[in-house]
A = this chain, B = another copy of it.
Amino acid sequence: MRVRQVNSARYAGAVSEALWDRSRCSVAGTLAVIGEKWSLLVLREAFLGVRRFADFQRVLGAPRAVLTDRLATLVDQGVLRRVPYQAPGERQRHEYRLTQKGIDLHPVLVALMAWGDRYLAEDDDVPLELRHRDCGEPVHLALVCDAGHELSGAREVRPVPRGPGA
């Protein structure tokens, strides 16, 4: 159907840094999986319950060919699953559902959304809010350390190199 190698940018280029090795950074690896145009928007819709090709296409307005490619990529990265289904009176079709690996991308979407709400929404016109299913209170992302402190921001974080190159 379609050949695709994982091309991972994690191993691109001869960097040979004075600092630790940046080419293996997980950010680059993750972007190699979901960083292409439309991928994150596809996932946003998936989290909102969209499953069928036509619905993705209609809601996003992405070109069909691109959408076909992005869905296929996400499927063979294990982020989505292609599941057959049959609506009564119709022939068998496929739908795309999040796997656990895909569900675990939720914080990425939440972080993007939170930033957009803060800096791009005009006059507090936030289009979508996340609430705790149990208690109904609004939900936000927080950095917490294993000692239980909730950090106030990036300045309280210290990046520490690890692994064989340390």
What residues make up the interface of A, taking CB atoms closer than 8 Å to B?
8, 10, 12-13, 15, 17, 19-22, 24-31, 33, 35, 37, 40-41, 44-45, 47-48, 58-61, 101, 103-121, 125-135, 137-147, 149-151, 153-165
Instruction: Kindly list chain B residues whose C-beta atoms are within 8 Å of the C-beta of A59.
Output: 15, 17, 19, 22
Contact status A130-B146, CB under 8 Å: no
Given the known A-B contacts A31-B40, A163-B125, are A117 and B48 also in contact in the complex, defined by CB atoms under 8 Å? no
Q: Is the CB of A144 within 8 A of B154?
A: no
Question: Do the beta carbons of A12 and B61 come within 8 Å of each other?
Answer: yes
Say whether chain A's binding surface is mostly helix, strand, loop, or mixed. mixed
- Minimal beta-carbon separation of A42 from chain B (angstroms): 11
- Which residue of A27, A48, A113, A157 has the most chain B CB atoms within 10 A of its CB atom? A27
Q: What is the total number of copies of this protein in its complex?
A: 2
> Bound complex: CA of A98 vs CA of B151, how far in Å?
19
A-B contact pairs, 25 of them (CB 8 A): A22-B59, A24-B125, A25-B116, A25-B127, A26-B126, A27-B112, A27-B113, A29-B120, A35-B40, A48-B159, A106-B153, A107-B111, A107-B115, A111-B111, A127-B161, A127-B162, A128-B160, A129-B161, A131-B159, A132-B149, A135-B149, A139-B143, A139-B144, A140-B143, A144-B150
Residues of B within 8 A of A15 (CB): 58-59, 61
